[in-house]
Chains A and B, each alone.
Chain A
Amino acid sequence: MYEVFDHTADLGLRIRADTLDELFAEAARALFSVIVANLDEVRSVEEISIEIEGDVHDEMLRDWLAELLYVFHTKHLIFSRFEADVGDTKLTATARGEPIDPARHEIDSEIKAITYHGLNVAHGDDGWSAEVIVDV
């Protein structure tokens, strides 16, 4: 579950999930929901694998989203399905999507970067939650 919240010139992503793996997958969906208006129209044609090294959850989450953003910007691929396996020192993940097709995909925002401002991953009684602010 995710929601997008206001941050004046920028946007925030607030994510909740039962497990850490789901939290990472859901955060990626939240990111692409801001980039493309009709995320559900994105087909799973291509799959890429991503590995992120690290041992701090919030930095790993930021790096994972930053990596997806980099692939979006340089390979012009958009993704809508994600699987993540968060280990102690490494995240192993896959993202499925397809090349941008301006005829079918409504590209909404140019997200410049994933910031560290207010970056937070927490575990509580009702599962995992995270907040990330992106520079638009």
Chain B
Amino acid sequence: MAKQGYTGPLEQIDECCWRIPKDYKIGMQVDGQIFADERLMDHIRADQAPEQVANVAMLPGIQTASLAMPDIHWGYGFCIGGVCATDPDEGGVVSPGGVGYDINCGVRLVHTNLSLEDVQGKIESLTDRLFRKIPAGVGKSGPYRFEGEELKRILRRGVRFLEKKGLATATDLEHTEAGGCLAGAEPDSISDRAMARGVDQCGTLGAGNHFLEVQVVDEVFDKNAAQTMGLEKDLLCVMIHSGSRGLGYQVCDDSLKKFRNVPAKYGIELPDRQLACAPVHSNEGQEYLQAMRCAANYAWANRQLLMWQARQVFAEFFGRSWESLQMNLVYDVAHNIAKLEEHVVQRRRKTLCVHRKGATRAFPADHAEVPQRYRTIGQPVIIPGDMGTASWVLVGRPGSMDRAFGSTCHGAGRLMSRKAAIRHAQGRRIDRELAEQGVVVRCRNWKGLAEEQPAAYKDVNVVVDVVDRAGLAKEVVRLRPVGVVKG
């Protein structure tokens, strides 16, 4: 499995979209389509991610095209940055690999009413305080424990359960994708092992690329949309990137094991075992969806509790309540998930099973699922970049519905492998380099930090520029990190 470049066809359709025609491989039901421009194509051709886009095009019931966003990179089975929509009524399948291990990995953005000036000289101590208080790192447990029936309620009701406990507000719910709760979650569909791993990890960051960052709004591109979200230049914000922790990994692992013989049972031939799938209208498919929704709800509760702890740290640090600091949730998006959504395919309205693996929902203005406050501007899309460059807030545009089943990119996209990133660092202290650029970094694992260094990622600005020009989402503000907390 040495790294080889992709040598198959990639035909340019327009300035931001490339096609892998469905006659490239036997078994492809539809074309592959990759949103990218010339600047990204060398990287995209450098590994097997386009081959994975072609493989996904073989899944039964897939609609229109197997899609990939400009932050596409090589994954296992599905590529990262992929979108795959299937029609259950046409034998469409659901695939645990199309969601990934970290079910409902996602991002949320919280603003404050503080400007950069207000915190001049305090960023280092604020970051230290966050680093001490926010549980992070491999297998780290947190201050919250949910056992038995209580844990089941989180799995069924997500953030709604936390609202009952006084750990979430009505606005927090409203400003979370799906209201922080997918219906149809059934805790009996998940194993005792998954339950056990969920007991003490809700409200913990984890490790790897997960983070909590203090950021400032660097530049505003759409003043009206920014204002609607409560964002303005130099405003201090907090971005949180985490997922469903060990519970989600276990749900995916259990499901893939159960799915080992399922494709054969339904006569589905696959080029890669990691693409294992079942018809949405089958017991196996339903059971996976029920379990996946539990993990998704757990992930939303996790990010809610991370935000709740951050609010407490800010309140203690500044000696004011989080309400008076106006630490309101701008929005929370999932970027590893499968959902049943309504879309129009060849002028017919259909309910599709949309897999987003490293892709973000980006519904446009006037869509019924966009909260009232954002109804006129479109759904906020939070795009985390690397810790040295920038993160973005976008809003969904009508093009996302026309071209990408209401989806856009999810981040910068990895460029270097982890080992290559460590070689590239050559023992340099990444934290010191970032400090010189005005970014305070606190991390438990220096090797992990080298793996996550800015050079390991594509330029998020290019990725965002492509989805903007492709009409999937519109640039609203760019944020830059000032304090980074990593596991």
Query: Are A119 and B75 in contact, CB atoms less than 8 angstroms apart?
Result: no
A14 to chain B, nearest CB (A): 8
Instruction: Determine if A116 and B196 form an interchain contact, defined as CB atoms under 8 angstroms apart.
Output: no
Distance from A92 Cβ to chain B, minimum over Cβ atoms (Å): 20
Chain B residue at smallest Cβ distance from A116: B273
The reply to whether A112 and B447 form a contact with Cβ atoms under 8 Å apart is no
State the Cβ distance, A15 to closest chain B Cβ, in Å: 13
Residue of A66, A108, A116, A133 ringed by the most chain B CB atoms within 10 A? A116
Q: Is B197 an interface residue (CB 8 A)?
A: yes
Would A113 and B208 be within 8 Å (CB), given that A108-B448, A118-B1 are in contact? no
**Complex Cα gap A134–B487 (Å):** 19
Chain B residues within an 8 Å CB radius of A93: none
Q: Which residues of B contact A116 (CB under 8 A)?
A: 76-77, 256, 272-274, 276
Tell me if A97 is interfacial: C-beta within 8 Å of chain B.
no
Tell which of A6, A66, A74, A117 touches B418, judged by Cβ atoms closer than 8 Å: A6
Chain A contact residue count (CB 8 A cutoff): 37
A-B contact pairs, 30 of them (CB 8 A): A6-B417, A6-B418, A7-B74, A7-B417, A8-B47, A8-B74, A8-B417, A9-B80, A10-B418, A70-B193, A72-B139, A73-B139, A74-B193, A108-B447, A108-B448, A109-B448, A110-B139, A112-B101, A112-B249, A113-B253, A115-B77, A116-B256, A116-B272, A116-B274, A117-B76, A117-B272, A117-B273, A118-B76, A131-B1, A133-B1
Residue positions of B touching A, CB distance < 8 A: 1-3, 47, 73-77, 80, 100-102, 137-139, 193, 196-197, 206-208, 246, 249-250, 252-253, 256-257, 260, 272-274, 276, 414, 417-420, 445, 447-448, 487
Q: Please name 20 further chain A to chain B contacts, defined as beta carbons within 8 Å, in addition to the given A6-B3, A6-B417, A9-B75, sorted by A numbering.
A: A7-B74, A8-B3, A8-B73, A9-B80, A10-B76, A12-B1, A35-B138, A70-B193, A72-B139, A74-B246, A110-B207, A112-B101, A112-B208, A113-B101, A115-B274, A116-B76, A117-B77, A119-B273, A133-B1, A135-B76
Residues of A that sit less than 8 Å from B by CB: 4-12, 35, 37, 59, 63, 66, 70, 72-74, 76, 100, 107-110, 112-120, 131, 133, 135-136
